[in-house]
Amino acid sequence: MIISGFLNLIAYLLNLLLSLFPDATGLPVGFTTALDYFAGYVGILDPIVPLDTLATTFALIITYEVSIFAFRGFRWLISHIPFVGGKG
Amino acid sequence: MPVINLPSYLSRKSLLFLCLSVASAVFFTPLPTSASGTGTEVLITNELVSCSEHASTTSFIGIKNPEYNSIPPDDAILPNNSTIWEYWNGLGCPSTGDNIGYYDLSDFMSTTTSGVYLMIFGDNQFGDMIEPWFYGQFYWNATTSEISNVLNYSTSTLDSSYYSGFHSTYDTKFTDVSASTTAGHLDDLYVSHFVDPDEVDTNLSARNPTYIKLSYAKQPDIETASVFETLSNLSGSSTGNGVTEFDLSSLTHGTYDVLIQFSNIGANLGLSEQPFPDAYVYLTIDLDPATGLSIVGDVEYYDKTTLPEPDIYEDCSLGDLTCHLSNAGKALFLPSQESVANFITLQESISGKFPFNYVSDFKDAFASLYTTSATQSLTISVPFGSFGNITLLSADLINAVPFASTIRTILSYLLWIMLTVQIYRRTLRIFNSQETTA
């Protein structure tokens, strides 16, 4: 009951905050068209260049870097907690 | 703190390299094979079921349909073969060795070459499934009548996501029931429904709705009767949104309790499971020859789109103080499913708000590049006097490059090697910087 009430309150406040933003769906047409052009131009290289592997390895590198960044951010956060982070 | 001097060949770098190598080997090693193929047979080993554990005259192993709990087991399934086999073959346990036996499929495979998804269960013929079960795929070559490429075998327990996940929730449900207002059809009832195509499996009765069943009992009687209509006979198709129309003009004047469910021919005959049993509608209707059909009171819709709230409270006797305290603690501190679900809907709301929608929309747009064919294609050509236009770059030119697939494979391997080296060097740098700061 206590935890549920607390979670409901947080969700309510977040929803309230979110209601300030306007509803929107879809990307600008120019952007999607550009993406379509890009895919069409690059796509013809697919018989020679492994674009799927390229995208996968790129995504893996980004995931790796984001993980390290998050880990460092977490450590920074811990280090700034009084007593726990050793800076009390 | 004692300082341990590692030998030079056990430096941090070499240990790190060793760890990465072992991790890579574990990551890229295929799952252990618990079955293999030879000729027309699947060889099943006791990695699946231990003979010593289950050996008895009634202990068998075979291909079994997990959606049925027949006693004794008399069904089997190869879903991609579009056939539910009524077949069971006991293999028994050998006295020595690991192999349980060969399962000969030659008499039961179709005459067309196909990939087959296979699930194999142990069963002791007393209604108990023997864990673990395993699943995998093989390739049936109809020309040579042999199986090949037994792959992706993996073991799991009966409460795996495939088995219990489907039964825990599903989106298929009834969405609306209304009385017809069309002249000449005033005794008709319209039933709207949504059948999630991802949840339909025509080989499993529990996932194959083909009819809508309407059961009724005239008040105050409790004797029930049923009528069936083909799914989406008014509009829609076998999956997605649809409307099924029931003509109830043959019923006599009176008030009826009505229950609406999904069904199929097997479920109608009581031979197989009812499809989506937790999705149903209860309502009361009034039939009057003068005014037609009308719905009395509220329509109650039941579905299984969310997990049912688990009963976490214990039944306590009056004097059991510990039990009551435990229940009070649960009531106070355990969050309800509804309060947690609020955050899931919040996530959906965020994706519909500017500028957060750009994140999800960009992801969708990028993913669609893999599934839709591009409308634009690059062609570069230059005018060359009397020779006309000479094409420097086009899809046809690229496709005509000799050894294109070989070049592509080599580049692919190079990319993976570069990725490995990059991650290795990056990790090394992180460890080195930590050594320096230490």
Nearest CA in chain A to B358: A27
Q: With 80 as the cut, is the pLDDT of residue B118 above it?
A: no
Taking all residues of chain B, what is their mean pLDDT, rounded to a whole number?
69
pLDDT of residue B20: 53
- Contact flag A3-B334 (C-beta cutoff 8 Å): yes
pLDDT of residue B213: 94
Q: What does the alpha-carbon distance between residue B227 and residue B221 come to, in Å, rounded to a whole number?
A: 17
Q: Where are the domains of chain A?
A: 26-79
pLDDT of residue B11: 57
Q: What does the alpha-carbon distance between residue A35 and residue B349 come to, in Å, rounded to a whole number?
A: 26
Locate the DSSP E strands across B14-68.
Answer: 35-38, 41-45, 60-63
| pTM (two decimals) | 0.39
Mean pLDDT of B277-294: 88
The verdict on B369 touching A (C-beta cutoff 8 Å) is yes
Q: In chain B, what is the greatest distance between 2 CA atoms, to the nearest angstrom?
A: 105
Which residues 64-83 of A have a C-beta within 8 angstroms of B? 64, 68
pLDDT digits over A11-62, tens only? 999 999 989 998 887 788 888 888 888 887 888 888 888 888 898 899 899 9
- Contact flag B342-A48 (C-beta cutoff 8 Å): no
Give the CA angle between residues B147, B149, B152 to the nearest 5°: 125
pLDDT digits over B25-62, tens only? 433 322 223 344 444 444 444 333 333 333 333 333 34
- Contact flag B333-A2 (C-beta cutoff 8 Å): yes
Q: What does the alpha-carbon distance between residue B288 and residue B256 come to, in Å, rounded to a whole number?
A: 11
User: What 8-state DSSP symbol labels residue B26?
Assistant: H
Report percent pLDDT > 70 for chain B: 57
pLDDT band at residue B194 under the 50/70/90 scheme: very high
pLDDT digits over B352-409, tens only? 888 888 888 887 777 777 666 655 567 778 888 777 888 877 878 887 888 888 999 9
> B286: alpha, beta or left, given left = phi > 0 and alpha = psi -120 to 50?
beta
Residues of B in contact with A44 (CB under 8 A): 377-378, 393-395, 398
pLDDT of residue B246: 92
pLDDT digits over B143-176, tens only? 666 555 554 444 433 332 233 334 457 889 999 9
